């Protein structure tokens, strides 16, 4: 009986030591920590608008001409422009066809979407915004008009 008791004692001691090692190993892999972190908002960068090649759709008295432009959005988020306000108009032939022969209407309710981080400008159009005077002279044939444009909108 004495040998059997020794074996039992040895098994008990071995199991106890094993349990202690497992407990120590588990304890050495857990950790806690408290403190703080930080986050910072980006700053919006203005998009760039440039004239694009126009389709020749103007003639004297026509009131539904389209305005063609390109937009570059450097922001890390997509932008939707919902309004266009025209500025100064210049003519490629101010003597033969002064810019006063053209009027450009402001537009709202637009949906001009520009993807994030556009390194290449995206071509866009505002339809039915440009009118040519009914009395525009023959010198206006083939003339290109450049319109300063302000687009407004926000993050898409």
Closest CA to 145 of 84, 62, 88, 83: 88
45 with 72: CB under 8 angstroms?
no
Could you tell me the residue ranges of all domains in the chain? 1-28, 48-155
Whole-number Å distance between alpha carbons of 98 and 143: 10
Q: Average of pLDDT values for 81-95?
A: 98
Asked whether residue 23 carries a pLDDT value surpassing 80, the answer given is no
Counting residues of the chain whose pLDDT is more than 70, the rounded percentage is 85
48-155 has which CATH code? 2.60.40
Whole-number Å distance between alpha carbons of 73 and 78: 8
- The alpha carbon of 55 is separated from its chain's Cα centroid by a whole number of angstroms, namely 27
Residue indicated by tokens 């960068």: 45
pTM of the model: 0.74
């Amino acid at each position: 009986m004495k040998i059997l008791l020794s074996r039992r004692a040895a098994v008990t001691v071995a199991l106890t030591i094993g349990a202690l090692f497992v407990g120590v190993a588990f304890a050495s892999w857990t950790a806690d920590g408290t403190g703080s972190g930080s986050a910072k908002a980006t700053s919006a960068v203005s998009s760039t608008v440039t004239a694009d090649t126009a389709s020749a759709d103007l003639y004297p008295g026509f009131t539904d001409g389209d305005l063609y432009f390109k937009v570059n959005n450097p922001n890390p988020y997509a932008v939707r422009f919902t309004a266009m306000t025209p500025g100064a108009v210049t003519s490629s032939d101010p003597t033969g066809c002064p810019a006063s022969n053209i009027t450009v209407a402001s537009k709202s309710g637009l949906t001009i979407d520009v993807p994030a981080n556009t390194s290449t400008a995206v071509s866009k159009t505002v339809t039915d915004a440009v009118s040519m005077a009914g009395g525009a002279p023959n010198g206006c044939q083939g003339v290109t008009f450049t319109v300063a444009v302000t687009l407004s909108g926000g993050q898409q």
